[in-house]
Amino acid sequence: MSIGSEAPIDVMVAEKMAIEILSPREQVKLRRAARCAALTLAHVKSKLSAGVTTAEIDRWAREHTKSSGARPSQLGYKGFPAAVCTSRNAVVCHGIPRDDEVLGRGDIVNVDVTSELDGFHGDLSETIAIGALSREAAHGTDVSRRCLDAAILVVRDGARLGDIGAAIEALASREGCSVVTDFDGHGIGRRMHMDPHVSHAGFAGTGARLRAGMAFTIEPLINLGSPAVRVLEDQWTVVTEDGSLSAQFEHTVLVTREGCEVLTRLP
C-alpha cells in the first residue's frame, strides 16, 4: 500500500485530477500481470503449513515469479529487501521475511505479492491461517476479507472513491474492528504505486469519480484493537501499537461500466 501522506498536498490535489484510464491494450497487459501475481500467491499458499519460515515464502515467491517470466516489483522498492511482504499476527504490513520467523499453528500471516510482467504490475495479498485459529483471529481474518468484498461491490463507473472507504468502515465498525488509516490502496499499472490514493475510510458520495478503465488496489488493514500503528527499527515492519492482531486482503481491480473486474481473483 502507499503511505497516505507521500506527496505534498498541492501535488496530490493536482494528480487527483488525472487518474489514468487504461486503453484496451493496456488492460490486457494489466490483466496478465495481475493473474501472474495471483498464481504466485496461490503457489505459495499451497505450500504453507506450521514449521515454514517466512524466508521460505520469499524464496518460493521469487522462484515462481521468475519461472513466470515476471519480476517481483517489491524487491528493491525504496530499498525493500525481499520479494514479498510477510506480515504475521500483530504485524500490520510490510513485514520482512526472515529465516528465524517460523509459522506456528494458530498464526495468521499475510503474504503480499506484487509482480511486474511486460511493463505492468499486479498486486494482491491474502491473510492465511496456519492450522486452526482462535475465535479472535478467525474473526479478524473474516472481517478483513468481507471488508474487501464489500468495497469491491461498490466499485463501478460513476461511483466515487469515498464510497469505498465508507463501505469498509461501516462493516469493520459493525463487527467491532478498526480500520488503519496510515496506508491506502493505490492506482496501479505501469507503476506499482500510482494515483489515486484509495482510502479505506471516508464518506460515501465524496472524492474523485470512478471511470471505466481506471485500475487500483483495495487493501483494507483491519485491526482487532486500536487502529494505531508504529514502525519498527528496521524502518519497514508496521505493527499494531497495542499488540492486537491485524489482517489484510488486497485485490487489483479494473473499473467497468457495470462494476469492476477483480483482476487478481483466479477463476
Closer residue to ligand MF3, CB minimum distance, 31 or 94: 94
**For helices 135-154 and 161-174, angle between their N-to-C axes, nearest 10 degrees:** 150
Give the residue among 250, 225, 243, 224 at the shortest CA–CA distance from 91.
243
Residue 116 interacts with Co ion (CB under 5 A)? no
Binding mask 219-248 for ligand MF3 (x = CB under 6 A): x-----------------------------
Q: Which is nearer to ligand MF3, 65 or 74 (CB)?
A: 74
Give the interface segment with ligand MF3, choosing from 20-28, 45-53, 56-64, 72-80 (CB under 6 A). 72-80
Closer to ligand MF3 by Cβ: residue 79 or 267: 79
Distance in angstroms (rounded) separating the CA atoms of residues 156 and 144: 21
Stretch that binds Co ion, among 76-84, 98-106, 123-131, 238-246 (CB under 5 A): 123-131
Taking a C-beta distance cutoff of 8 angstroms, is the pair 155, 254 a contact?
Answer: no
CB closer to ligand MF3, 29 vs 94: 94
Distance of closest approach, residue 177 Cβ to ligand MF3, in angstroms: 19
Cα dist from 131 to 49, 104, 128, whole Å: 7, 8, 9
Identify which of 247, 258, 114, 96 has the alpha carbon closest to the alpha carbon of residue 186: 114
The percent helix, strand, coil of the chain (3-state, each to 5) is 30, 25, 40
Is the separation of the CB atoms in 167 and 157 below 8 Å? Answer: no
Q: Does 217 bind Co ion (CB under 5 A)?
A: yes
Using CB under 5 A as the criterion, which residues of the chain lie in contact with Co ion when the complex forms? 1, 112, 123, 125, 217, 250
Using CB under 6 A as the criterion, which residues of the chain lie in contact with ligand MF3 when the complex forms? 1, 74, 77-78, 80, 85, 94, 112, 114, 123, 217, 219, 250
